[in-house]
Structure 1
Amino acid sequence: MSGPRRRAERHVAVAFGVAALAAAFFAAMYVLGDDTQLLGLGLLVAFAGLAVGFALWAHTLLPQGPFVEEREPMISPLPERRALASEFARDEAPLTRTALPRRMLTLALGVLGLAALFPIRSLLARGPNPWRALADTPWRAGARVVNDRGRPVRPGDVAEGGVVTVFPEGRAGIGDAAVLLIRVDPADLELPPGRENWAVDGLVAYSKLCTHAGCPVGLYVKQTQQLLCPCHQSLFDVLGGARPVAGPAARPLPQLPLGVGADGTLVARGGLSGPPGPGYWRKT
């Protein structure tokens, strides 16, 4: 095989190889993350590699025509007709004789086809569950309660009528993990059934994200013992499990079960009672 033809085959093979690698990159990015720019880049390079490979193949490996032979009309002898058929068969040989580009093309199309199967996972019934995704917060049983500076909080750190924004240890500042710690008179608590032991010495903890539009519920009205969302004036009853009593919010603020660790600091005894934040995704 001549040197120029060998180089041409290698160029075509490299183009198809780049397409295969880009398709594998697309599949890896789909599994490892959700960066749409990287996903788009992977597809762009994959299809560009195929396009370049096909173009090089057409211009360097296939016979270049047109082929015209001027001659008088006549019936050719049988040997000449056979020779002509053989010549045509030989001209078509690059389609079957160029093994390296053909194999790389098969590899590129195969990898790209497999990569195209990955997004199908998002369309299946077993795909991501919105309820699980929204309910998955850093709060876990045994997680220590810390303030916005990462310092552990003890029951005595919150005065009666006081409010402190707290987070799970190691995740201070995480938006969906923000919880309001409020001290009330234990005798006044009327928590929902099953939550009687979720408070510690009158300390109750509720998600800071309003269940209407996700605004921070940071205003505590001590006189009425209610939390007020400043965005749309939803009111939540602190004593009654943070159920909404006014405004557009239709779902209570998720509550965090509290306990005291061996070192005397507050800890979570489990996750939030429900997904924090807006409830627009949930049928009511």
Structure 2
Amino acid sequence: MSRAQGPISGEKGAVRRIRLAFGVAMLGAVGFAVTYSLGGNTQLLGISLGIAFAGLAYGLAAWGRRLLPTGGYVEEMPELSAPPRRRDLLAEAMNGPESPLGRRGLMGMLMLGVGSIGVALLFPLRSLLSFRKPDPVTILRHTAWEPGVRLVTPEGTPVRLTDVGPETIQIVVPEGHTRDGDAPAFLVRLDPERLRRQPAAGRAGDVVAYSLLCTHAGCPVALYEQTTARMLCPCHQSAFDLNRDAAPIAGPAARALPGLPIEVDADGFLRARGDFTSPPGAGFWSYP
């Protein structure tokens, strides 16, 4: 009796392990989809996808090793046309309850595992679709500066017109977007009589605002030469003449620093009147 039950018991155990492996594959696929939906941590995405494929691979390998016929066989060349009785027996063997393809619902579990992985892999397609959000080019062309947005320091302190000193610059960012990499700007006081070109973005009294990002490679142009009213980029030595509307006068930069239109509100705080006059940062893509 034990000899007869041994293979059957082993087969049942193999079926349970295979079903468990396909279940693990489904859980890994669900984990991948959930992780992507919550923000897409790359480590968790890789782990969950690895678990899904590992479960699927183990299940298929165990299925082929433990449930399908194995070993070497020698068979005479079959007849060109099998007898009807033989065809019926073959169809019954392949479609019956003990078929290696449909045994104990394994085919259904396999399809669920493969299908769940396929559905999970569709989730990243969301990154390629806008879903009513601006397309990437539109996002690059515009920043968080909008009419009425208050100018604040990187620490979040609102800036008044009187806070801008005569010999240095004041770095500012849009309120509520202090960490946006494309939004930093600087304020500086210029002598209106020395201006050779009026700022395209206008000015608030003798204070003007420009993007802090160099138009060559996007480095901060935080070196101000007050005597010549020039901004210098320490990365590749580009120089911009603020008296000529921040036009490039040296170095590899070929485009002027974008201006930021500003105004003073009723409480004396500086606010933006709109976005930069042109996209900020490196000029490696087309501009309108």
TM-score bracket for this pair, using the shorter chain length: 0.7 to 0.9
Question: C-alpha displacement at 1:180, in angstroms?
Answer: 1.0
Asked if 1:41 corresponds to 2:71, the answer is: no
Which runs of structure 2 are paired with 1:62-101 in the superposition (5 Å)?
A: 62-63=68-69, 65=71, 93-99=99-105, 101=106
Counterparts of 2:251 and 2:141, CA distance in 1: 24
Answer yes or no: is the 8 Å Cα contact 2:199–2:259 preserved in 1: no
Which runs of structure 2 are paired with 1:1-284 in the superposition (5 Å)?
A: 5-30=11-36, 32-33=38-39, 35-63=41-69, 65=71, 93-99=99-105, 101-119=106-124, 129-172=135-178, 174-186=180-192, 188-189=194-195, 190-191=197-198, 195-196=201-202, 199-282=203-286
Q: Percent identity?
A: 49
Question: C-alpha displacement at 1:244, in angstroms?
Answer: 1.4
> Residues 273, 229 of structure 1: CA spacing in aligned structure 2 closer, same or farther, 3 A cutoff?
same
Counterparts of 1:208 and 1:31, CA distance in 2: 34
Aligned residue for 1:95, secondary structure, equals coil
Question: C-alpha displacement at 1:49, in angstroms?
Answer: 1.2
Q: Which ranges in structure 1 are unaligned for 5 or more consecutive residues?
A: 69-77
Answer yes or no: is the 8 Å Cα contact 1:180–1:207 preserved in 2: yes
Question: C-alpha displacement at 1:261, in angstroms?
Answer: 3.0
Answer yes or no: is the 8 Å Cα contact 2:232–2:238 preserved in 1: yes
Counterpart residue type for residue 51 of structure 1: A
Question: C-alpha displacement at 1:160, in angstroms?
Answer: 2.8
Counterpart residue type for residue 143 of structure 1: V
Question: C-alpha displacement at 1:50, in angstroms?
Answer: 0.8
> Residues 85, 232 of structure 1: CA spacing in aligned structure 2 closer, same or farther, 3 A cutoff?
closer
Structure 1 residues 32-84: Cα deviation after superposition (integer angstroms, max 9, x where no partner): 5454444333332221111111122223433455689xxxxxxxxx9x97998
Q: Single out whichever of 273-282 and 205-214 deviates more from structure 2.
A: 273-282
* TM-score of the aligned structures, taking structure 2 as reference length: 0.75
* TM-score of the aligned structures, taking structure 1 as reference length: 0.76
Aligned residue in 1 for 2:78: none
> Residues 155, 84 of structure 1: CA spacing in aligned structure 2 closer, same or farther, 3 A cutoff?
closer
Structure 1 residues 123-179: Cα deviation after superposition (integer angstroms, max 9, x where no partner): 789998543343454433322212233221100111334311112224446543321
Counterpart residue type for residue 109 of structure 2: M
> Residues 210, 85 of structure 1: CA spacing in aligned structure 2 closer, same or farther, 3 A cutoff?
closer
Please report the RMSD computed on the Cα atoms of aligned residues, expressed in angstroms. Answer: 3.7
Question: C-alpha displacement at 1:257, in angstroms?
Answer: 1.7
Aligned residue for 1:182, secondary structure, equals strand
Counterparts of 1:177 and 1:144, CA distance in 2: 13
Counterparts of 1:278 and 1:51, CA distance in 2: 47
Question: C-alpha displacement at 1:118, in angstroms?
Answer: 4.5
Counterparts of 2:148 and 2:121, CA distance in 1: 42
